[in-house]
Amino acid sequence: MPTRWPASGIICWSFEAWERSLTLNIQSQVLLATRNTLRLPTRAEYLVDVDSDAEILEALRYARQRRWPVTVLGGGSNTVFAQDLVGLVICIRTRGIELIDERVIAAAGESWDHLVRHTIEAGLSGLENLTLIPGLVGAAPIQNIGAYGVELAGVVEAVHAIDIATEETLVLSNLDCQFGYRDSIFKRALHQRVIITQVCLRLNHSFVPQLDYLDLQRWRALQSPENVTAKQVSAVVADIRRKKLPDPAIVGNVGSFFKNPQIDADAWRQLQQDFPGLTGREQVDGSWKLSAAWLIDSLGLKGFKVGDAAVSDQHALVLINKGKATSQDVLALARQVQQQVMSRFNLQLEIEPVIIP
Count the helices and strands in the chain (H runs, E runs).
Answer: 9, 21
State the distance between the two ends of the chain, measured CA to CA, in whole angstroms: 26
- Examine the residue annotation and report whether 269 is marked as an active-site residue of this protein: no
* DSSP β-ladder status, 103-107 and 27-31: unpaired
CA dihedral 299, 301, 306, 307 (to 10 degrees): -160
Contact 99, 124 (CB under 8 A): yes
Which position among 125, 184, 256, 312 bears the catalytic label?
256
**DSSP H/E element including 230:** helix 230-244
Q: How far is CA 61 from CA 24, 88, 161, 324, in A?
A: 12, 11, 16, 36
- Examine the residue annotation and report whether 352 is marked as an active-site residue of this protein: yes
In the chain, helix, strand, coil percent, each to 5? 30, 30, 40
Contact 121, 230 (CB under 8 A): no
Note the Cα 2 to chain centre separation in Å. 21
How far is the C-alpha of 351 from the C-alpha of 356, rounded, in Å?
13
Torsion-angle region of 307 (φ positive above 0: left; ψ -120 to 50: alpha; else: beta): left
CA dihedral 246, 315, 233, 289 (to 10 degrees): 140
- Examine the residue annotation and report whether 344 is marked as an active-site residue of this protein: no
Which position among 182, 184, 234, 312 bears the catalytic label?
182
Active centre residues (catalytic) = 182, 256, 352
